[in-house]
Amino acid sequence: MWIEDWAPSAACRQAQPDALFVRGAEQNKAKLVCGGCPVRTECLAEALDNQIEWGVWGGMTERERRALLRRRPGASWRSVLEAAREEQAVPASH
């Protein structure tokens, strides 16, 4: 199920905002906050669909997001990520 108003449920909502807008090795620490976040996918889709250039969003750095955007220019990332989530939720039939 896709959560439209995802920000109140984000794992980072209690973190200092500046902690997610860091450079270099500090980004790995920032990405740890996203690890168990229940709305990580929604956050990532927001950053990709709006081409947000700064910070860690959905567990991905700016560089990682740019790489995805280059691979699928013009994609609706919400649609892509929502479909991927649904595929993972469906148990494989034997």
Q: Which residues are annotated as a binding site?
A: 12, 34, 37, 43
**Binding site for [4Fe-4S] cluster, residues?**
12, 34, 37, 43
69 in Cβ contact with 56 (< 8 Å): no
Cα–Cα dist 67/93, whole Å = 33
Cα–Cα dist 94/76, whole Å = 32
